[in-house]
Every structure is written in C-alpha cells, then in structure tokens.
Amino acid sequence: MGRWRAAPADVMGGVSRRRWARAALATGLLAALASTLAVLEPGGGPWRAGAAPFPGNGLFAYGDAHVYGSLTMPLDAPPVAVVPDGATGGYWLPAADGGIFAFSAPFFGSAGGIPLYAPVVGMAPTRDDAGYWMLGMDGGIFAFGDAPFLGSMGGHPLNAPVVGMAADPATGGYWLVASDGGIFSFGAPFYGSMGGRPLAAPVVAMATTPDGGGYWLVASDGGIFAFGDARFHGSMGGQPLNASVVGMARTADGGGYWLAGADGGVFSFGDAPYFGSHAGGVPTAPVSAIASTPDGGGYWLLDPDGFRYSMALPREVSFTWAGPAIASWAASQIGPNPDDSQGLYCNPYGPCEPWCALFATTAWEQAGVLIPHFAFVGDVYFWAAANGQLLSPLQLASPGDAVLYGTGPQTVDTAVHMGIVGEVWPDGAVVTVEGDAGPGPFGQHDVDLNGPFLPVDSNSVNGFPIFAVARP
C-alpha cells in the first residue's frame, strides 16, 4: 500500500481553505534570480555555479525571498534546512552528511568529508552571521567561523533524537530540542520544555524570539508550545491535518509565525502575512523545512526531492553486494510519477495498483536480484525469509535493504508500505527512497526521499512502525 498524507488547510487572509495534496505547478511559477555565487559541495571545496537560473525545484521562494543559483551535480545526501544569512540576504543549505551549500553567503567550513556518527539535522548562524553551528541527530555540535563551541549532547544518552536548534541573540549561546520536547541549553537560559510530558505528536522544530527571551516549539500535528517571552499566536493542534507539519519560522518582530506542512501548505498566525504556498503544486513537492527572510517579508520552502542524488555510501557502514546499485537506481527515480494521468495508482513499475512493493522489487531486479515482481509488502517479507535475510527494526540496516512498514506481513492492513534504504549512518539513522509515497491521495503518489530518521522512531515520524528489514 502507499503511504499517503493529503494536504492540510492553508491559511490566507484569515480564511482557512482546504488544499488538494501534491497536484500541479505550472512551469515557471518561481522567478529565478541569476547571480554568480559560491556553492560548497558536501565533500568540501568551492564549486562555481555561475549565472545558471534556478529551475524552480529544490527551493520555493515567496514574498521578498529570492532563489540564488542552482545545484546541478548529484548530492551525496539530502539538504535538511534552509538557513538565512542576515548579513547578506543569502542563505546556507546544510546537508545530512555535514556538507554546506552557500548561496550569496560566506562559507566558514563544513563537516563534509568527516565521518559522522549521526546525520546532521539542523543549523543556526551566530548573532553577527559570521559563523554557524551544525547539529547532529545525536546532539553533536560542529562550530565554524566565530561560532563558539559551548557544549553538546554528543556522546550522552538521549531519550529521543535531537531534531532542531536555535541560537540565542542575547547571549550568543544556543538551544537544542529533541523530538520529545526536551530542551538542552548551552550558554543560553532555560525557559522550560515539554520533556517528560505526554505529547500528541513529536516536536519537529523550534524558533527563538527576537530578543532571545523565549522560544517556540512546534509538533508535527501543528501544536505550538511557547516559553519565556514567546507569545502564543495560534496553532493547528487539534485540527485535522492530512500532512504533517515539518517546521516553523517567526516574523521579524516575533509577533507571528508560519508553519509549513509536508505537502507545501503554509499556515500563518499573528502578524505573519501569507505570501503563498506550494500545496497543490506540480511537480509535487514534499517539503521538509521553512525559513523566513531577515525582514520577515517572505519565506523559503525546502523540497529535498528537487535535487539529484548519488546516494554515496558512508564508508564505515557495510552493504551487500547489490546494495550500491540498488540505492543508486532508486535515487535515480526520485520525482513525480509520470503515469498518474493514466488512472488510479498507474505507475511505471507494474499494473495500476498500489505500487510501493512494485517499486522496491524493481529496484532489486535492476541490480540483478532474482526476486519476483511483487505487489504486496508481505510477499517481500516471505521471499526474504526464504531467499534472503530478515532483520529486526533494531538491527543496523544497509543501503539496498528494504524497510517494511506496519505490524506484520499478514495482510495489506498490517503490511502497509515499504521503501529502499539509500543511506545509513553508524547510529542507525536511515534515508529511504520510497515509491507510491508522500503527501497525496489516490494516484497522486511519487518516488520520494524520506529521512533521515531512526527506524525505532518510525511510528512517530511516518505514522506507522517498521516491522522488519528485508535484505536481498
């Protein structure tokens, strides 16, 4: 079965309206701004993009936000955030492998090429924008430029993975937030947290007030938690959503904020003006982050599927003989489903039916694995039990493995979805490539990136647990 989450309601001019998930965007929606800029490859050195116009994939700009340049080379890992540079008006895109892409913003260094225990999940600039910190899912901190290292949670046991950070403009310190709402303060005051309290949904991001006197936390159900001098301006908590909230950004004066849904929908609260969204756009765009311009006159939405990927394998992670070929082929398929117009669930990998398993078994077949062209996730499980290898969700996966979502292989109600593992970090976090996936109902599905996430946290991240890992 396909993993689907249709779009939430957009808020525009105070009116809530339902949007269809992941429909079409006319060519040329975004006006590209061409400029000469330095872009940093995940491995380190500078790469000159010249004045090539950005085609409108990967980053969507609204209001006074501009898109600077393009990335044409395959990336080793997906970008995880867009971080504005208040000094230049440009931005940085940090990638999960620690690489930094600098657009009209200075490059102060990166963790690209450094063996990482856990993927990078966030980044924050210093108060003078002359440096930045990068954050790992394990709470590790990498400091560059004038960013001081004030401590981290790296190497410490955590109750939940760290998912975001914010810099304190008053003290020059920083906060980290975990998915259970726990806050870790380093050189910054502690104003409270949701750690130890029951949450309806995991926390996915945080933002600080302009004076550093407080912060907001946002959960994937759109719930907002305000601490210190952060004011509550409204939320989507308790309202029906068919696409999870993935991030937030505040206005320049802190009198409002925006929330972004995975389908590209934008929710405006307080004095945050609505500048538009990507809900209902084509190519379909599973958004993973939002950031506002320094003056609050616009925002960017990040679409990791808008980039090309090499799915380079971390050297310290083992893989099977077919693993690199499987991961590489799966990555080459990321994008909108070209057969949607032919009918319900029509796809390039088999008949018109739910096709996550058709996609996954095709990926294995392309690498020479002799597996039947299965359409049911449970059949992949039983094939792996007889011909391959079955791992529990707690065991370290390898690139090319298949993650099987649900509670068991018995029926389509218990074996609901599957995807191909593209990358694995030593802590066990994975990036998957999944067919018939993403926020979109009934035939509007695509091949999408998912992650990085820890398989043990799949139920809170994806809406269902992983019951097994199948190895070819």
Residue 369 belongs to a domain? yes
When pLDDT is cut at 50, 70 and 90, the band that residue 284 belongs to is: low
pLDDT above 60 (res 373): yes
Give yes or no: residues 83 and 128 share one domain: yes
Give yes or no: residues 252 and 349 share one domain: no
Give yes or no: residues 386 and 256 share one domain: no
Q: pLDDT by residue (tens digit) across 60-83?
A: 999 999 999 778 888 999 999 999
When pLDDT is cut at 50, 70 and 90, the band that residue 113 belongs to is: confident
- Give, as one character, the DSSP assignment of residue 112: T
Domain that holds residue 402: 323-471
Residue 17 belongs to a domain? yes
CA distance readout (Å), 2 to 40, 333, 398, 404:
36, 16, 23, 12
Closest CA to 190 of 202, 178, 174, 204: 174
Residue 208 belongs to a domain? yes
Q: Do 3 and 240 meet the contact criterion of CB atoms below 8 Å apart?
A: no
Q: Do 32 and 11 meet the contact criterion of CB atoms below 8 Å apart?
A: no
Q: Across residues 222-227, what is the average pLDDT?
A: 98
What are the residues whose beta carbons fall under 8 Å from the beta carbon of 112, sequence distance 6 or more?
Answer: 40, 41, 42, 43, 44, 76, 95, 97, 98, 99, 100
Q: pLDDT by residue (tens digit) across 154-204?
A: 999 999 999 999 999 999 999 999 999 999 999 999 999 999 999 999 999
Q: Which residue has the higher pLDDT, 144 or 444?
A: 144
Give yes or no: residues 293 and 209 share one domain: yes
Residue 317 belongs to a domain? no
How far is residue 205's CA from residue 80's CA, in Å, rounded to a whole number? Answer: 12
Would you state the structure tokens that stand for residue 214, as one six-digit string? 């407080």
CA distance readout (Å), 98 to 87, 121, 160, 209, 436:
23, 9, 21, 27, 29
Q: Could you please report the per-residue DSSP string of 7-65?
A: --EEEETTEEEE--TT----TT-SPPB----EEE-TTSSEEE-TTPPP-S-SEEEEET-
Residue 312 belongs to a domain? no
Give yes or no: residues 337 and 412 share one domain: yes
Give the torsion sign (CA, 198, 201, 205, 206): negative
Secondary structure element (H or E) that encloses residue 302, with its range: strand 298-302
How far is residue 333's CA from residue 15's CA, in Å, rounded to a whole number? Answer: 37
Last residue of a domain, one of 278, 306, 334: 306
When pLDDT is cut at 50, 70 and 90, the band that residue 232 belongs to is: very high
Residues, the chain, total?
A: 472
Residue 2 belongs to a domain? no
Lowest mean pLDDT among 64-73, 112-121, 127-136: 64-73
What are the residues whose beta carbons fall under 8 Å from the beta carbon of 157, sequence distance 6 or more?
Answer: none
Instruction: Please tell me the total count of domains within the chain.
Output: 2
Give yes or no: residues 267 and 337 share one domain: no
Give yes or no: residues 93 and 206 share one domain: yes
For position 73, what pLDDT does the model report? 86
Quick one: 205 exposed, middle or buried, by C-beta within 10 A (0-12, 13-18, 19+)?
buried
Q: 298-332: buried (b, 16+ CB within 10 Å) or exposed (e) per residue?
A: bbbbbbbbbbebbbbbbeebebbebbbbbbbbbbb
Residue 318 belongs to a domain? no
User: pTM score, two decimals?
Assistant: 0.86
Q: What CATH number corresponds to the domain at position 121?
A: 2.130.10.10
Q: Across residues 305-329, what is the average pLDDT?
A: 81
3-state SS track over 344-366: CCCECCECCCCCHHHHHHHHHHH
How far is residue 416's CA from residue 460's CA, in Å, rounded to a whole number? Answer: 15
Give yes or no: residues 268 and 348 share one domain: no
Give yes or no: residues 197 and 330 share one domain: no
- Give, as one character, the DSSP assignment of residue 114: S
Q: What CATH number corresponds to the domain at position 384?
A: 3.90.1720.10
Q: Do 254 and 278 meet the contact criterion of CB atoms below 8 Å apart?
A: no
